Chains A and B, each alone.
Chain A
Amino acid sequence: PLFIPLAQSDMKDYKHLDIRNTVGNVPMEWYQDYPHIGYNLDGKKIFKPIRNKDELDEFLDKMENPDYWRTVHDKTTASDIRLTDEQVDLVHRLQKGQFGDVNFNEYEPSVDFFTNEVMIHPVTNRPQDKRSFIPSLIEKEKVSKLVHAIKMGWIKPRKPKETTPQYYDLWAKEDPNAILGRHKMHVPAPKMRLPGHEESYNPPPEYLLTEEERLVWEQQDAEDRKLPFLPQKHSCLRAVPAFSRFIHERFERCLDLYLCPRQRKMRVNVNPEDLIPKLPKPKDLQPFPTTMSLVYRGHTSLVRSISASPTGQWLVSGSDDFTVRFWEVNTGRCMKTLEVGGAVKSVAWNPNPAVCLVAVCFERTVLLLNPSLGDRLVVSSTDQLITAYEPPEEDKEQAVTWALSEGLEHNMGHRLTLTHPKAVKQVVWHGKGDYLSSVMPDNSSNLQVLIHQVSKRRTQNPFRKNKGLVQCVSFHPLRPYFFVATQRYVRVYNLIKQELTKKLMTNCKWISSMAIHPGGDNLICGSYDCRLAWFDLDLSTKPYKMLRHHKKALRGVAYHRNYPLFASGADDGSVIVCHGMVYNDLLQNPLIVPVKVLKGHQITHDLGVLDVTFHPTQPWVFSSGADTTIRLFT
């Protein structure tokens, strides 16, 4: 606004010069690099004046020129212009906010051309048109069209206005406990502890260490000390020496800052009791054996193996004192003692109630005994069964020799003697009672397991290859399967198809014992590394559950025939009874609850319980131990 009147005044004063620039209102910087500054009315270049005024000249000009204050630099022409008095006045007026024109009177009286009052007479007296009284046909047509469109639903009535506000509080609905973003996770660096009285140069006497405390402090490890320094008393602040551990302490502080947690770990708040699976109380799972009731004494060396008769009236035990003893279960009376020629490794009562036979193995012999206990008819029919054997016409070479006992041995109860080529460790019966299997552990041969048929006096070796040191074998209670436990695996063979069906990985270092559930779909394995593995054969080849209840190596495991119970005996002298319920529903996994630890056996030569077996009908468990006793828990 300042420029235009100047230009106008220029026109008046410098009409003759006429050096008006025609470039217009453009930034003059555009012509910085040119020698001219614009174009005049004739189209000729306006050259920049030769600038010879430096700062010093400027200063001198400012000091000496009395009109300096009214000199204005004109950028368009790059010339200095001295303002006239009128122009200075105009500037002053404008600066004061007054009108530029001196003669303009802003307070002239106003003339009211159109009154605001309503007159009685109209301004024009023209009568109203006729059409202003007649409804418009065009409008009517338009309205009816709209009405029709609305009726047909072509036009929607106006949508209600959205009530949601355009702006809303982003964090209004936010859970105050929720973690949103890093800033909430931020944990400020831990602050240094404020110095206490003991850090004073002149601490109160109670903070000073006595001589004893000082000795203790010096003997302690740096980490165990309550204070990282010794409080010391100085007479005045001047006497305090330089802090020798300053660098060290700073370094530790830096380490603290570096290592301190900077993020809040969101720990899930879980009640530890919720994590424990809901198991029924042992009280609700009765009956199971709880107390020791009877002790069967008589053996003079450790009792390796026990087996109960199918009626539950008798018990047979084999011991390292070269004897096999028969016990009456309900009184603990030893009914019979048989000397055999070696430490008895395993005994097994024939599970068939119509046959009265006990298999005993010692050294290289498997002996079939008729204990003559129980029903006379069964005893005599068993003897008949054995004597009724007729040798086949062609004699095949067999791995073992079958010999019928006669004379004195027959009177002692010996019936058949099977002499094996190697030492026999275990003997088991098939559920039907005609077949039995014997184990001769040997790492270097395929002759480790033999299956014998008593009625035909036949022996066969089911395996052609050696798959490792066989620990124990077992027959499937219902189907023609055969379980072979080597050191780390249990292999399940189909005896009819003669093929390997399954290989169970036990994750144990050395299997000691194995038992098959009477239903046949579950299996437990005890191992020398204190573990008991439960396999669900339908589920997986890996253990369904690993129980580590025993402190020492497991020696024997057993299932109960009717009750949902299983027991394990170990070198720590205890028998652990567990409730192991198997459901008919395939979707429901077995329920395993440890219910009772039965103690009673003394540990002798680091051996505790060597074998466990259940009573066939009652919820009672027998255990035999290295302390030469057999115990009954009911």
Chain B
Amino acid sequence: MSQLQTRFFTDNKKYSVDDVPFSIPAASEVQELSNVINKLLEAKNGSHSQIEFDFLVRGQFLRTSLSNHMEAEGISTEDVVEIEYVERFTAPQPEECMMHDDWISSVEADSEWILTGSYDKTARIWSLEGKAVMTVAGHTDVVKDVAWVRRDGLTSLLLTASLDQTILLWEWNSERNKLKARHCCRGHAGSVDTIATDPTRTKVTGEEEEVEEPPSRPRKKQKTEQLGLTRTPLMTLSGHNEAVSSVLWLDSEEICSASWDHTIRLWDAETGSVKTTLTGSKVFNHISYSPLCRRLASGSTDRHVRLWDPRSKDGSLVLLSLTSHSGWVTAVKWAPSHEHQLVSGSLDNLVKLWDTRSCKTPLYDVSAHEDKVLCVDWTDSRVRHQDNNTHLACINQQHTSSLY
């Protein structure tokens, strides 16, 4: 049995070990390495309790034996191997199941509340414990997307987009549990399928941005505040040949949109012109952007999750393809607090948690849903003291939304 010279290091000061090379059997796997680290930590600190670790060799998660991994990655076994270890991300467990009467089309969660839109023409506000707080009724047709705009203390602004071609802006007081419709935004010639809010939610004028699914020329519209009840678009972004499936703000100047015409476009929010076009080969269902790693994730109908670099000047370069789903990927979402993690939902009833450092297989499959998954979102609690504090709200057609 051959031995490998290894050196362990970690970012987490709590679990750091001495920076000395160890000789490890080449056939050892994650569990054995984890035992080694635990032994070392116990020797250093008597009160240490057993913790599961995951290991990274040159930025890739170790999933097989060390020798197999190094052979596959083409790493020389002569040198000292630098192995990074991190605390293992434990499997998400379903915490709450929120029952709806009808399909759920969208979900948006922030640190306190979860907002869901449903096919029964209403949107609902839930607490993180899974308690229905408020029902937002006002649309005459299916609610397709929801979004939080901003929160000033107990008063929140929220948006609902619907098949009835309108977007409603609501003001909700969480203490008194009072809801007031503030504005109705009109201007679309088709159902409004997706909305996104500006990251600078502190602006006096709540800027929202929405997209339509019209027959001929899909446009994106940006709205401004008016005194009246009805608002008209501030700006229309036209250029997509087919239905726009997803929009988001990259930052306060840039808008990104994905469409059924196989393109992702980046728009300048000031001028309304196209800055970059990323061309794929299949219909895009959903996109998500992570400001932490500055990458765009797209879910498309060919069952892959693809990662793009929106800043790259040399056109449409797919950085990474995550392949494991067996149905359309309907939703992708980057973790708000972790630069490598994203979650994807698919029509094959599965929600998968990915780590971009392990692109071959997902970290975890969440298979609690019994029907199609239409949207996913993360919530992040204020303090990270336990792993499952990162909640994953994920919605499916079983009329439930579950918390993990």
Contacts and interface: CB of A to CB of B under 8 A. Distances in A.
A310 B119 CA distance: 23
Contacts of A353: 215-216
Contact of A331 (B215, B243, B374): B374
Interface string A604-634: 0000000000000110000000000000001
B240 to A, nearest CB: 12
A294 B326 CA distance: 11
A294 B189 contact: no
Interface string B266-283: 000000000000000111
Interface string A279-300: 0000000110001011000000
A375 B215 contact: yes
A618 B283 contact: yes
Contacts of B190: 311, 313, 374-375
A595 B281 CA distance: 18
B301 A293 contact: yes
A603 to B, nearest CB: 24
Interface in A298-329: 310-313
Given A313-B243, A375-B215, A333 B165 contact: no
Contact of A313 (B105, B213, B327, B328): B213
Given A294-B328, A617-B242, A618-B283, A375 B372 contact: no
Given A331-B374, A375-B165, A294 B119 contact: no
Contact of B328 (A311, A312, A333, A634): A634
B119 A617 contact: no
Contact of B347 (A293, A312, A335, A376): A293
A311 B213 CA distance: 9
A376 B165 contact: yes
B372 A332 contact: yes
Contact of A293 (B103, B328, B374): B328
A44 to B, nearest CB: 132
A313 B282 CA distance: 17
A539 interface: no
Contact of B215 (A294, A330, A374): A374
Contacts of A618: 260, 283
Contact of B301 (A312, A376, A634): A634
Nearest to A376: B165
Contacts of B347: 293-294, 332
B92 interface: no
Nearest to A618: B283
A333 B215 contact: no
A310 B215 CA distance: 8
Contact of B119 (A291, A311, A333): A333
Contacts of B301: 293, 634
Nearest to B189: A375
B217 to A, nearest CB: 12
Interface in A479-517: none
A287 B328 contact: no
Interface in A551-603: none
B130 interface: no
B295 to A, nearest CB: 25
A485 B260 CA distance: 36
B236 to A, nearest CB: 15
A618 B302 CA distance: 13
Contacts of B336: none
B25 interface: no
Contacts of B105: 331
B103 A333 contact: yes
A595 to B, nearest CB: 16
Contacts of A287: 281-282
A477 to B, nearest CB: 19
A617 B189 CA distance: 19
B395 to A, nearest CB: 12
A312 B215 CA distance: 8
A377 interface: yes
B214 interface: yes
Contacts of B215: 310-311, 353, 374-375, 378
Contacts of B165: 375-376
Interface in B291-328: 301-303, 327-328
Contact of B214 (A294, A375, A634): A375
Interface string B95-106: 000000001010
B243 to A, nearest CB: 7
Contacts of B260: 312, 617-618
B313 to A, nearest CB: 27
A568 B49 CA distance: 64
Nearest to A294: B347
A376 B165 CA distance: 8
Contacts of B189: 375, 377
Most A Cβ at <10 Å: residue of B142, B281, B285, B328? B328
Contacts of A378: 215
A293 B119 contact: no
A332 B301 CA distance: 14
B320 to A, nearest CB: 22
A333 B242 CA distance: 20
B307 to A, nearest CB: 22
Interface in A346-388: 353, 374-378
A374 B165 CA distance: 9
B263 to A, nearest CB: 13
A515 B106 CA distance: 39
Interface in B237-294: 242-243, 245, 260, 281-283, 285
A618 B289 CA distance: 26
A333 B163 CA distance: 13
B347 to A, nearest CB: 7
A476 B374 CA distance: 40
A291 B245 CA distance: 21
A296 to B, nearest CB: 12
A114 B113 CA distance: 156
Interface in B359-381: 372, 374
Interface in A378-423: 378
A329 to B, nearest CB: 10
Contacts of A333: 103, 119
Nearest to B193: A330
B327 A293 contact: yes
Contacts of B242: 312, 617
26 contacts: A287-B281, A287-B282, A293-B301, A293-B327, A293-B347, A294-B328, A311-B190, A311-B243, A313-B190, A330-B285, A331-B103, A331-B105, A333-B103, A333-B119, A353-B215, A353-B216, A374-B215, A375-B214, A376-B164, A376-B165, A377-B189, A378-B215, A617-B260, A618-B260, A618-B283, A634-B302
Interface of A: 286-287, 291, 293-294, 310-313, 330-333, 335, 353, 374-378, 617-618, 634
The 7 A-B pairs of least Cβ separation, nearest first, read: A311-B215, A353-B215, A375-B189, A634-B301, A293-B328, A375-B190, A617-B242
Interface of B: 103, 105, 119, 142, 164-165, 189-191, 213-216, 242-243, 245, 260, 281-283, 285, 301-303, 327-328, 347, 372, 374
Given A311-B243, A634-B301, 12 more contacts: A286-B281, A293-B301, A294-B328, A310-B215, A311-B215, A313-B190, A331-B105, A333-B103, A333-B119, A375-B215, A618-B260, A634-B328
